[in-house]
Amino acid sequence: MAGVYCGQNFPAMLTGDKSLKKRPMSRITVPLTRMGANIRAVAGEYPPLRIKPGEIKSINYNSPIASAQVKSSVMLAGLYATGATTVTEPYKSRDHTERMFKYFGIPVEVVKNTIKVEGGRNWPGKHITVPGDFSSAAFFITAALLFKDNRLVIKNVNLNPTRTGFINIVKRMNGNIKILNKKDSCNEPVGDILIKGSNLKAATIDKSEIPSVIDEVPLIALLASRADGKTIIDGVSELRKKETDRLHAIATQLQKLGQSVEEQSDSLIITGLRGPIKGGKVTSFKDHRIAMMLSVAGLIARGKVIIDDVNCVNTSFPEFYDILKEVTENE
């Protein structure tokens, strides 16, 4: 949205809840400023963002990180510039924006990890159908995998390949997961996911895979704690810049539940099946994904798992606990 507002002829301020205000914004304000945007973070590099009208120009931007948010902000601002704007990433990140541009008929060229968009024109609107969010579905995929003799079907889920690296990793970990009824909707692949309870084995996750599973790393760590062998998740220092230091949160809270998790500067090492998940008091650090991961862990714990703050779940998935209760009661 910052990229969109930078191209308008009126001032704007973008703010958010407490979790969003903890996210550093220099990653977007730096390239947008290079494009001529009049944008600054009110609190150092953190939101709110104050935006005033500016004359946007096209740039060639080499992003130091693979981030769909950074890429999209530059692409959207580029629509208000004359000429071509390019963004190059070290690895391919989620490509929903590129797909949306193509669906709307906006010229966009993708060559490996470089995206090129043409600005300076107006484009007609179209009807959009939004499928189920894969990152939200991943919590129920994880729950289903952890219960033996279990079967779950999640319908109408977005299966964009830049989002479904989690499925590839689950399959490497011997997870029983299949895609059914695949189709295309508004230039996005959509389908149903069938999951069965599985005997999991350890895997190594390379840093090149992380952009496609950045939201699912807490769940991979939980699955790894129930997998036979040592799992290494590499290249995850980006998680330290989320709502909380998510890397530290994953390690410390799974340790409280009796799991063998070693936190390093840019990786997690999990030795699975060192003991059952046990009950205990844990904290979400007011991070919605940590709260939901710990809730899934609580389903198979020997004893009660008490999470100190779950209101943060409303950030992304306010229906989570209602659906979780419905799914578990039907098993």
Cβ atoms of residues 154 and 140 within 8 Å: yes
Same domain, 150 and 100: no
Backbone angles phi, psi at 146, to 5 degrees: -85, -10
Mean predicted lDDT score pLDDT of the chain: 94
How far apart, in Å, are the Cα atoms of 160 and each of 99, 140, 164, 191, 252?
A: 10, 18, 6, 10, 32
Q: Let me know if residue 129 belongs to a domain.
A: no
Cβ-count burial of 123 within 10 angstroms (0-12 exposed, 13-18 middle, 19+ buried)? exposed
Amino acid 212: pLDDT:
87
In Å, how far from its chain's centre is CA 239?
A: 10
State the average pLDDT over residues 151-167: 95
pLDDT category of residue 23 using cuts at 50, 70 and 90: confident
Q: How confident is the model at residue 152 (pLDDT cuts 50, 70, 90)?
A: very high
Confidence of residue 330 (pLDDT cuts 50, 70, 90): low
- Residue 21 pLDDT: 87
Residues 208 and 317 in one domain: yes
Residue 124 lies in a domain: no
**Catalytic (active site) residue 322:** no
Which domain-ending residue is among 90, 118, 146? 118
> Has residue 182 been placed in a domain?
yes
- Evaluate if residue 150 carries a pLDDT over 90: no
Residue that is last in its domain, among 86, 118, 150? 118
Catalytically annotated residue among 215, 228, 245, 308: 215
Would the pLDDT of 97 be above 90?
yes
Identify whether residues 108 and 139 lie together within a single domain: no
Statement to judge: residues 49 and 174 lie in one domain? no
Alpha carbons 249 and 255: distance in angstroms, whole number:
10
* 288 DSSP assignment: H
Q: What is the pLDDT of residues 302-321, one digit of tens each?
A: 999 999 989 999 988 999 99
Model confidence pLDDT, tens digit, residues 270-281: 999 999 999 999
Residues 227 and 283 in one domain: yes
Domain harbouring 75, CATH code: 3.65.10.10
Cα(221)–Cα(199) distance, integer angstroms: 15
Checking if the pLDDT of 19 tops 80, the result is no
User: Token pair of 138, please?
Assistant: 């991943």
The pTM of the whole model exceeds 0.85:
yes
Last residue in a domain, options 84, 118, 152: 118
| Residue bearing the bigger pLDDT, 241 or 254 | 254
Range of the domain at 153: 134-329
Please answer whether residues 246 and 218 qualify as being in contact, where contact means their C-beta atoms are separated by less than 8 angstroms: yes
